[in-house]
Amino acid sequence: MTAEGPEAGQGGDGEHDLLAMLPRLTQLSGAVNRGRLTERAMEAAGVAVDRPAMSVLVSLHVAGGPLRVGEIAARMQVVGPHVTRQVNELARRGLVRRVTDPDDQRARLIEPTAEGAAATERYMRTVLGWFSDALAGWSPQDREVFGRLLARFVDDLTAHLASFGDDDDRPV
């Protein structure tokens, strides 16, 4: 049986578990998207940028240091020109700045300004607070196992989908 066949997701060897997981993944996606998680968190945190710009700021925050545009694009799974447009707008608004790469004086890195870092911190506290509230009834062990397995699933699925070599279908 192949993953592309009509019987994919049905049968033995845990495939039933995978079939049962699909509606839950759709439900999660719907809760995040229909619930406008990003937009609501930005509003609650008083951050007035669009979703892609917030993704740039979050990528910088998670990295813990300045990044090249290409590195931001890779983390966001988008193309470089998309990030460049966002960086230009964020720089115009005083939320990020370009700095010289100490390892290559010709290259520029992007880093948040104090205002950009503060806005991102407010946003992250809001989102993490909501996640913490949702997991409040979970044991520390359940939270650890969930985090570990979710990271593994996302990494493995991302790597598998990347093997298809269809870079034009990356989300923006």
Task: Spell out the domain ranges in the chain.
Answer: 37-136
pLDDT, position 32: 85
Q: What is the pLDDT of residue 167?
A: 54
- 12 band by pLDDT with thresholds 50, 70 and 90: low
Among 132, 56, 133, residue whose Cα is nearest residue 90: 56
Model confidence at 119, pLDDT cuts 50, 70, 90, reads very high
CATH 1.10.420.10 fits 37-136, yes or no: no
Cβ-Cβ contacts under 8 Å for 87 (sequence gap 6 or more): 56, 69, 72, 96, 98, 110
pLDDT in tens, 55-110: 999 999 999 999 999 999 999 989 989 999 999 999 999 999 999 999 998 999 99
CB 139 within 8 A of CB 94: no
CA gyration radius, the chain: 19
Q: What's the pLDDT band for 161 if we cut at 50, 70, 90?
A: confident
